[in-house]
Structure 1
């Protein structure tokens, strides 16, 4: 599926170049909005600029349907430090964009709006900056995707803080959002490879998780691992567990939530709006059916992998 999508994107870009042979292609965010209309090709991660003197209204409307149209205000603040980071991360510029002994992480985000023309990107960036107790660098990769560079200081942003902030500005700006909270790493010549791996994880998460909007390595990697293991026969040995879940989907939700709450019965019962006795009955029922003790680490790990496999196969 991924190859087909990329090939289609390549064909669309080729057709654009045939129609507009003087079009400009680049990976860096566009700057010259006076001369060009800019479009983004997500399959090839490149911007295409078509001269305003070479395109009519009908052609512009068609291209806006085929490619995400890039608005000037989205990129107005991409200069200075944000531009240096963009060149370092995406153009593989060897010069480091900053000099610090502290570790650094990239927080990726994607925003979705039903009325993108009404979205105030300047105000949105101010809202993003206000989440942090110190200055961060915010840049856009396209009209929908951006990144935040956070240096590890005394109090780095916690997941709970980010989730709360996401709820607030989703309500304020009438948008939906997804974030990937990257890991802190040394800012050196290997940092771009570290970030590229996190980009792949975020891309996978956006297409593989339903109803989730905040991701991290520890949340995404186990699911990716299950996906890769599904290509081999080993996970078939978990069928005796997934068959139990197939008979009772709510039981899978109960067990997965219980494990994610560190086997805390009170917290799980509260989260699932269930009486503790009812929860314990369902846990005991599963243990009897599967013959696995959830009080052991290995038992919990095995069952959690089965939960992830069941969810992945039933997306």
Structure 2
């Protein structure tokens, strides 16, 4: 589509991520792939703008001015600048916000207040981006994104999701880390409805995503057997596994009596020969449940 538009609008410019500045003489849009395109207003008539608004999402000037740190990281990640040999420990945290719940400027101000320092953010579009967190020397306590979620949802009324990458000191691999984080986030939120997911927690989802669909169905059939289409059971056993195999915790989440949950787990064991109270068998069932997503 980009090439076709380029033939119609020769001034069209294209960016894979949000550029440092957006010239006011251009109309800016976001593609389905979250890429940014701009077309000079001199080439656009009212009918052109109406058509582009129907095909693409207009990009409004809601983004805060990029800081020198953000410019630096953008240059390293997208290979616009040579990555230096420096000692630094960092991690990427992907975030996603429902459209029009909060504008980028207000979101960054809220994060700055929570972090009590200037936040480094690279925006993909108005609804998603990546926080770059530098591990501070002498500070042991890591920021809890589950606490941030509570603040955003209860105080600011923003329904946000975070995918938290691991800390790394491999600055030379910054581009690859960024790409893996985005890929991992897209997969993780496809499988899980949790608002905060770490990269380590998402590894089973990432692995299952790479398995052949026919093999996934075979896993479901072999492991879950007659229970594979029992949505109530699927929810129950998934909650039990997510509760670290703790009957009391799972029963509370499910609003079930502990004995009722125990009875259903025993029934599953009796019919399939699989005991989800045993770690390795529980892991097998967990992977089978993930494959049903």
Distance 1:210 1:263, change over 3 A: closer
In the other structure, the counterpart of 1:22 is 11
After TM superposition, list the pairs within 5 Å mapping 1:205-216 onto structure 2: 205-206=188-189, 208-209=190-191, 211-216=193-198
Aligned to 2:110: 127
Gaps of 5+ in 1: 1-11
SS of 2:228's equivalent in the other structure is helix
SS of 2:115 mapped into structure 1? coil
- After TM superposition, list the pairs within 5 Å mapping 1:56-71 onto structure 2: 56-71=45-60
- Correspondent of 1:163 among 149, 154, 160: 149
C-alpha distance in structure 2 between counterparts of 1:289 and 1:162, whole Å: 43
Q: Are the structure 2 counterparts of residues 138 and 288 from structure 1 closer, same or farther at C-alpha, using a change threshold of 3 Å? A: same
Aligned to 1:262: 244
Partner secondary structure for residue 160 of structure 1? helix
User: Please, which of 97, 102, 109 is the counterpart of residue 111 of structure 1?
Assistant: 97
- The aligned counterpart of 1:34 is 24
Distance 1:198 1:133, change over 3 A: same
Which residue number corresponds to residue 296 of structure 1? 278
Q: What residue number does 2:39 align with?
A: 50
Q: Structure 1 segments of 4 or more deviating over 6 A? A: none
Residue 234 of structure 1: CA displacement? 7.7
Q: Is the 8 A contact 2:29 2:36 kept in 1?
A: yes
Question: C-alpha displacement at 1:129, in angstroms?
Answer: 2.4
Return the offset for 1:48: 1.6
Deviation at 1:235, TM superposition (A): 6.3
- Unaligned regions of 5+ residues in structure 2, if any? none
Cα RMSD of the aligned pairs, angstroms, is 2.5
Deviation at 1:209, TM superposition (A): 3.0
1:177 equivalent to 2:146? Answer no
CA distance in 2 between partners of 1:86 and 1:166 (Å): 26
Q: In 1, Cα distance between the equivalents of 2:80 and 2:91?
A: 17
Relative to the length of structure 1, the TM-score reads 0.82
Contact 2:216–2:288 under 8 Å retained in 1: no
Q: Is the 8 A contact 1:185 1:191 kept in 2?
A: no
- 1:87·1:93 contact (CA, 8 Å) conserved in 2? yes
Q: Secondary structure at the match of 2:188?
A: helix
Total equivalences in the alignment:
289
Q: Is the 8 A contact 1:13 1:41 kept in 2?
A: no
Q: CA deviation at 1:223?
A: 2.0
CA distance in structure 1 between the partners assigned to 2:194 and 2:224 by the alignment:
22
Tell me the distance in 2 between the aligned counterparts of 1:95 and 1:42.
Answer: 30
Q: Tell me the distance in 2 between the aligned counterparts of 1:247 and 1:54.
A: 55
Distance 1:215 1:28, change over 3 A: same
